Amino acid sequence: MNVDTTRAEAAGLTCRPLNETLSPLLTWDRTRRDTALKCGLTADQEAALLQQHATS
């Protein structure tokens, strides 16, 4: 995760605040709840893990 961006910045790279990147992503993600994920935990698996965590 440590990459020297000096050359990229000299070529015009600009970084925007993390909130500006994540806010639209979160908004989009909240609109697609009916879309099945192709990776990661299922809703049932997530619920079971959260329940397990809450009781430990």
* Domain membership flag for residue 20: yes
User: Each residue of 11-49: pLDDT tens digit?
Assistant: 999 999 999 999 998 888 888 877 776 788 888 999 999
| Residue 28 counted as domain residue | yes
42: its two tokens: 């299922």
Helix residue spans in the chain (DSSP H) = 6-10, 18-30, 43-55
pLDDT of residue 1 exceeding 80, the answer is no
Predicted local confidence at residue 11, as pLDDT: 97
pLDDT confidence bin for 9, thresholds 50/70/90: very high
* Within a domain: 46: no
Q: Is the distance from CB of 37 to CB of 45 less than 8 angstroms?
A: no
User: Which domain does 27 fall in, by range?
Assistant: 8-32
Residue 37: its pLDDT value, please?
67
With respect to residue 15, please indicate whether it lies within any of the assigned structural domains. Answer: yes
* Residue 48 in domain: no
Q: Is residue 54 situated within a structural domain?
A: no
H or E segment at 43? helix 43-55
Does the residue 43 lie in any domain? Answer: no
On whether residue 21 sits in a domain, the answer given is yes
Report how many domains make up the chain.
1
